[in-house]
Structure 1
Amino acid sequence: MAEAAEEDLSGYRSLGELFRRPLKPWVRPIAPYDMVSPADGCIVHLGRVRRSRLEQVKGVTYSLESFLGPQDWREDVGERGLYQCIIYLAPGDYHRFHSPTDWHIRHRRHFPGSLMSVSPSVVRWIPGLFCHNERVVLSGDWAHGFFSLTAVGATNVGSIRIYCDQDLHTNCARHVQGCYHDLSYLAWAGPAGVPTPKGAGLGEFNLGSTIVLLFQGPRRFGFRTSAGCRVRVGQALGSL
């Protein structure tokens, strides 16, 4: 609580409000790297994407299209490759997530779905778990091509909020599971999309969950952490 903007527990009207609490701005400094962690949590997996298969955990994979839906880009273009990073937020972690780099968000795709646990112990034995759970895909571009951040819901965490998107309503009975709902931000943000600087607040969960980063980058891109490590918002994640 010493990190919270409001340290007094009596200042929170509900448990949910406590979980979503903002922090003092100086307790999560933003590292001077090309990419930083968007959330507090544990790195489940990171590395190159091979043959359009994403790795849930070591040895458990699922298809790129089943997770993101149809895309109008190719896995590998010239000197660029496709990379992924999965961060698990436990119930005790800070539950807001931030921009991992300087990029422009052009599109939102919302997949209604299940709310199964995404704890590492469950992720190991349910293939394609992230494709079954409710999730919100933000996609656009950074300096090196395609960039996306996906907020994946979990048990008791169907409510995902994106600060720039007041039309998003998750965890609603009216949604039909198996479908997805698209919204282009270009109509109101302009042809470049929503400018999102590194470290800026993007959204929040109602409890712990998972963030999945998928992005194109040059072959010289390298991660600055490894699977199993704990990270905090603003900590170095990767660089060119």
Structure 2
Amino acid sequence: MVSGVQTLTKREQLNFLLTNRIPRRWLTFFMGWYSQIQSPLLTKLSIWLWSLFAEDLRLQDAKKQNFTSLGECFTRELKDGLRPIAMDPQQVVSPCDAIVGECGEIQGTKVFQAKGFPYDISELIPNIHLNHKYRDGKYVTLRLKSSMYHRFHAPVDCSVSNVTYISGDTWNVNPVALKKVQKLFCKNERAVIELKNNHPTSSITLVPVAAILVASMKFNFLSQTLNLKYQGPNEISCDAQFNKGQEMGYFQHGSTIILFATSNYEFCEGIKQGTPIKMGQPLLNGHLTSFP
């Protein structure tokens, strides 16, 4: 923990105390249990209470309007056609609905979770090969608020042959916590997914980071749910193919995805900290010379 790097308002200090100075792990277990209770009446009450704190909750976009559990609402699907995919093969699209956090060029292997709070890629991704691959590349932090659509999708045509799961803490990943807790993303539960394509000089890797409450990630191509109770292998082999925009999985609560790209990508116009982005919108432009 550090203090004095960034000055927090009293409201931000209170937010941090309420969301982090609590037994995070046990509250996460409780919320995981509570969110799976099958009760339409309890679910309606829970969603009403939730909407008091999340004014941007837009359930009218959901494919179904009646939910039997709070978890079903968290992981809701959207109506068809609401997230058009930018199909230019040179573009990487956003894998999720999000608020753009820190983003920019990787300084060697150093990236930032917030101003004045650096971390090394090796502290987030325990893979020397990937650490080297993204040296001087690009990164963007995509924060999913609790009210947002929680499913994430392939940002490019790709294949996935391995998922690395890293068990960890469940710190809140909101902007207040990112100003207070050093190397927060490196402490939390997370997964590392390298997206392989047909361009040997380019690469994209996604790092979904879980957080407090329902710290759980479900990938459509794995039978296991990755959460605090998971006790399986950290390296999980798989064989999955995705077209750009195809669903890969979902969080069971709002959290964060950090996207890493090689140096032959550039950010699309308008991508900057604080910008809302929808799944399927252009995020990066590639300078790739050959396509299959």
**What's the TM-score once normalised by structure 2's chain length?**
0.71
Which residue, 105, 119, 129 being the options, matches 2:184? Answer: 129
Within the candidate set 245, 251, 254, 1:205 is matched to: 251
2: CA distance between counterparts of 1:42 and 1:103? 24
Please provide the CA RMSD for this pair: 2.0
Closer/same/farther in 2, CA of residues 2 and 73 from structure 1, 3 Å limit = closer
Contact 1:75 1:81 in 2 (8 A): no
What's 2:266 paired with?
Answer: 221
Q: CA deviation at 1:73?
A: 4.5
1:166-211 deviations in whole A, cap 9, x for unaligned?
1343221757xxxx811232xxx3xxxx322111101111110001
Matched letter for residue 254 of structure 2 = G
Q: Which residue of 1 aligns with 2:235?
A: 182
Alpha-carbon separation, structure 2, partners of 1:73 and 1:201: 24
Moved over 6 A (4+): none
Q: Relative to 1, partners in 2 of residues 1:74 and 1:117: Cα closer, same or farther, differing over 3 Å?
A: closer
Asked whether the equivalents of residues 115 and 155 of structure 1 are also in contact (C-alpha less than 8 Å), the reply is: yes
Of Structure 1 and Structure 2, the greater strand share is in 1
CA contact (8 A) 2:109 2:136 kept: no
Q: Deviations along 1:16-64, whole A, 9 cap, x unmatched? A: 1111000012011112341111111100011111121121122211111
Q: Write the letter of the residue equivalent to 1:184.
A: S
Return closer, same or farther for 1:15/1:96 CA change in 2, 3 Å cut-off: same
Show the counterpart of 2:82: 27
Residue type at the aligned position of 2:117 = V
| Stretch of structure 1 that moved more, 37-46 or 163-172 | 163-172
Q: Is the 8 A contact 2:108 2:136 kept in 1?
A: no
SS of structure 1 residue aligned to 2:215: coil
Structure with bigger RCO (C-alpha 8 Å, 6+ apart) = 1
1:141/1:46 CA distance change after superposition, 3 Å? same
Amino acid at match of 1:108: V
Aligned with 2:99: secondary structure? Answer: strand
Residue in structure 1 matched with residue 5 of structure 2 by the alignment: none
Aligned residue in 2 for 1:54: 111
> Which residue identity does 1:199 align to in structure 2?
G
Partner of 2:205: 148
Q: Distance in 1 between matches of 2:60 and 2:230?
A: 38
1:17 partner SS: helix
SS in 1 for 2:203: strand
- Which residue does 2:241 correspond to in 1? 195
Gaps of 5+ in 1: none
Q: How far does residue 221 in structure 1 lie from its aligned partner after superposition?
A: 2.5
Which of 32, 37, 41 is 2:98 aligned to?
41
Aligned length: 223
Q: Choose between structure 1 and 2: higher helix proportion.
A: 2
For 1:206 and 1:73, locate their aligned partners in 2 and report how far apart those are by CA, in whole Å.
Answer: 27
Question: What SS is found at the alignment partner of 2:284?
Answer: strand
- Alpha-carbon distance between aligned partners in 2 of 1:40 and 1:110, rounded to the nearest angstrom: 23
Partner of 1:109: 164
CA deviations 1:52-95 (Å, max 9, x no partner) are 11211222111111101023246369xx9521111001111111
Q: TM-score if structure 1 supplies the norm length?
A: 0.86
Contact 2:158–2:243 (CA<8 Å) still a contact in 1? yes
How far apart in 2 are the matches of 1:98 and 1:70?
A: 23
Structure number with greater Rg is 2
CA distance in 1, matches of 2:263, 2:230: 38
